[in-house]
Amino acid sequence: MSLERLGRMLWEYREVLLSGIWVTIELAFISMLIAMVVGLLACFGSLSRSRILRAPAILFVEFCRNTPILVQLVWVHFAWPELLGFKFTAWTSAMIALALQSSGYLAEEFRAGIESIDKGQIEASQSLGMTYVRLMAFIVVPQAFIRMIPGILNQFVTCFKSTSIVSVIAVPDLMYQAQLIVTATFLPMPVYTVVALMYFLMVFGVSVGVRRLTLLLPNFGYFQTRKEAPAA
């Protein structure tokens, strides 16, 4: 197949491909956002002193982390409607499954971040009369968040890659559109090669961006080491 023919074919299917890319990006972002919220809640649940909160939170996190994304996807899409008694679209199933997967990892990431904060910070806050909620909100979580940024961004890359699986429940993402094009053109080699390149470029772009962002981490002297010993 000549490059020219390939180019023409891509152009012909440009709208389909673009819509697939859009669905992929949309899924990755929205499920990541939801996962951040759910992950934070699960994290606080797993840190709670109350068993009633802690046990289900830990169970949830472990379940999310220890089931394959494909299984989660199929389970959410085919089992939840029957369990819950109402239907939702494949897109919603995909979003839920991806969010589940990421929230498990993020909850662990958040917990590790919070636990990495020196106990002295908590004691200093307590000695200043701060309640648990206040010291978490103003002292511990902000510091932990800075440490969590690389982990969150890594999970975003993972989530982005995981989106390619949603085509199995007919969510029209980039992978799904590629399959449609192959069905119509009988040209699996060029189509899948191009799509693989597209994924590569997107994920690579995100990864590079992520690394750049990590380097730009909030700069309030926290990560900087003192260059010169200041006068006492």
Contact residues: other proteins, CB under 8 A: 118, 120-121, 123-132, 134, 138-139, 142-143, 146, 220-222, 224-226, 229-232
Nearest distance in Å: CB 219, other proteins: 9
Nearest distance in Å: CB 45, other proteins: 19
Nearer residue to other proteins within complex by CB, 125 or 162:
125
Nearer residue to other proteins within complex by CB, 1 or 229:
229
Q: Please name the amino acid found at residue 32.
A: M
Using CA atoms, how far apart are residues 28 and 33, in angstroms rounded to an integer? Answer: 9
Cβ-contact 120, 128 below 8 angstroms: no
CB atoms within 10 A of CB 218: 11
The three-class DSSP label of residue 37 is helix
Nearest distance in Å: CB 227, other proteins: 9
Nearest distance in Å: CB 224, other proteins: 6
Nearest distance in Å: CB 215, other proteins: 18
Q: Which residue's entry shows tokens 């007919």? A: 170
Nearer residue to other proteins within complex by CB, 85 or 221:
221
Nearest distance in Å: CB 143, other proteins: 5
CB atoms within 10 A of CB 5: 11
Using CA atoms, how far apart are residues 208 and 160, in angstroms rounded to an integer? Answer: 14
Nearer residue to other proteins within complex by CB, 18 or 124:
124
Nearest to 10 by CA among 187, 211, 169: 187
Nearer residue to other proteins within complex by CB, 3 or 52:
52
What's the CA angle centered on 154, arms 151 and 158, to 5 degrees? Answer: 135
Nearer residue to other proteins within complex by CB, 85 or 120:
120
CA–chain centroid gap for 152, Å, is 7
Q: What SS3 string covers 95-154?
A: HHHHHHHHHHHHHHHHHHHHHCCCHHHHHHHHHCCCCHHHHHHHHHHHHHHHHHHHHHHH
Nearer residue to other proteins within complex by CB, 106 or 139:
139
Nearest distance in Å: CB 17, other proteins: 44
